Structure 1
Amino acid sequence: MESFDVVIIGAGASGLFCAAQAGYRGRKVLVIDHANKAGKKILMSGGGRCNFTNLDAAPKHYLSNNPYFCISALKRYTSSDFVELVDRHALDYVEKAPGQFFCEHSAKDLLQILLTECEWSGSEIRLNTSVQQITKNEESFTLLTNAGSIKCNSLVVATGGLSIPTLGASGFGYQIAEQFGLSVLPRRASLVPITIQPAMKEKLSTLSGVSVDIEATANGVSFKEPMLFTHRGISGPAILQISNFWQPGDDLQLNLLPEIDPELHFKQVRQDRPKRALETELTSLLPKRFVELMKQDFSWLSKPMAELSNDQLAEITQYLTHFDVQPNGTEGYRTAEVTLGGIDTDQVSSKTFECNTVKGLYFIGEVLDITGWLGGYNFQWAWSSGYAAGQYVQ
């Protein structure tokens, strides 16, 4: 039977990073994964360019049943620390939005940095290796795999969540937690497109591919970002963000003109340019295809502003600021970027990431009940939690 100080299940962001940290501390480390390639989710994220951190990775941008759990790790390994690491490896990256860093060329460049760090630290990675059984005695864990048995002092679970099963995602990490008596909080797809009712979907079908800057609001939380109409419903940054807070049955308010007061704006245009058609004015504010769709509901859009009453302008304003897309659910784990919920963090040390009741068992990354907003926050959680655990595994 082979023996290691540390075995990490999961060759994703948190697992690879933890391996390097533990390896640099002189630990004999093995990373195993059932997939045929390491870092699959890294490679596909951010359109293949990976939004690998956010300079504003503060606790306020994370959701958890215990909002204080993430504070310690985020303070001990910051986004600036990770940027310093990729700078040492000469990664070319760009800041696409304030604080959001993406690989300039390909996420492959970032994955190569992680693999290089593992190599330099002496950590071994084995792919196509699935765990069939885990047992524990007082001193160690024994993993029965399809390639034989492996013994270790510390076992790190970095298996991720349920998102994007085509990349190999599974609930295995939750099963391990439950095997050792930990509770797992309810999970659902997170950072995910929202689907809409069939009749409304058909009506909006001509808008597939159209993007508009909006403010999305649900349960008292709002995001001002672009929304994208799709052939299934709505997506884009604003919708992915609000999906963390909206659930079927909740109200979802979409304001298509968040930067202006439309009613005041239209009245001002009516006064200054009375001959201007409302349709023309709307086309200056919104995509032309969307304005064409509006004509199905408002036959008088082509009229000059001077001929429109206050009630008509109020009606248009209500339509645009409370746009009813009739949502009915999400696209689910198939397209979700991450999983909301997971292993209850009350059972894990926020300092070491070791299970409070099972010595030598660690949980890091997405498998825990910590979910970041869209924008590089979840990758930063992978680095921070992986770093923290890497300092303590034995």
Structure 2
Amino acid sequence: MEKKNRKFLTDWLLNKEEEYEKEFTKDFIQTNENKEEEIKQIKFYHLFDITEDKYNENNFQITLDEDTGLSTIIKLKCWVWPQYSQFGRLKSNAALHHIIARVSEDDYLEENSCIKLYYTDGTSCFSKIKNGILHGDTLRYFKDELIWIGQVVDGKGRGNCLSREHEGGGIIFGQVDENGEHTGDNIVYIYPDCKTALIGEFEQTNLIEASLGKVTCIYTENNWINIEVRDSGRYERYSYSPSDYDGLISNNPLLSDPYESSIIEIRNSGMKGGGEGIYATKDIPCGSLASIYNGVKYPLGCFLGKDCDSDEEIYEALSYNIHMPQDENFFLDIPKKFRDVSNYCATLGHKVNHSFKPNCEFSTMFHPRFGRVRTVVATQLIKKGEELFVDYGYDLIRCPEWYRELHKTQIEGTASKNMN
């Protein structure tokens, strides 16, 4: 069921993208053939929130592709800073950087034609223009990753729309308000397995309160996606509660993540001196989310080993640090009191052990409960009962003694055997 759901959803999304690209090209060909048809037009610079009296052609670079009739219009002295770590949304708060559309010699956009809009935060929007606003099936991207797809009528979101977070692949699905936001009490978050779900109340894609659900069917109706989810009937309630800088790790530290608890468990590690480790309770395919690594936030530059007297004490104090991608200004840590699963088990990624021959790697996701956190993702098929490992990536010059010894065993020892 998981594979079937995931494939069906992936195929539908790809099909919608292909449909738009075909219409994008076809639209301009047809427009060229119907020049005598009366159409309503607006000046392209209105999309940049520039009025006619403020427009200066020297502030734009316009390039025409003679083969397609498409013009690329770039606003000069306007720079792109790609940064987007949340669920996709219909509207961008960033400035418009450039557009690709068909534009007449006197700067008019073709009415009812396809258009591509690119913003300074690295997102883009593919839709149609009607009376100067979006109208029709609309797709939003961050870089090349689809992050939002829905139907827009006169600039307002309508019906069931799909929002996606590009790093981890989870989606939010359900009815949207006129701003294209998932706000309501029957919204669904679906984990990357396309099976496990949280169903309940959301406000502007933020989880207010939800219960555990299960995806029962993904199908199309009137050429649009529909997803059916059955409530599990369990009593647990989940809400958005990211960690903070004051020691809060979760508002419910003993409420396990339902996806994580369905595929992994904690047992004594098979690695010598490894303490507890993570084991697969079912086969985990290559590329799949295996575990979630939440923690208390600390600002960059904060050194948690400042009160330690020796290198080994420092290594121990820093042993549960994990850095976020470079666009964040904080790192995560599991304080000592939360390292025991009897005190914290909302996520279990901090229990993954190191190996120089790993079967997983660290990645990132925006989680509906924890916000943007690190994850453990399988880099190969992990069989049921196998332990999960990542490469910690320490510097061999400054690292714990156990790390050097393991390097000698797994790397230097292997090299020595091969030479013999």
TM-score normalised according to structure 1 size: 0.24
Bigger helix fraction: 1
Higher strand share: 2
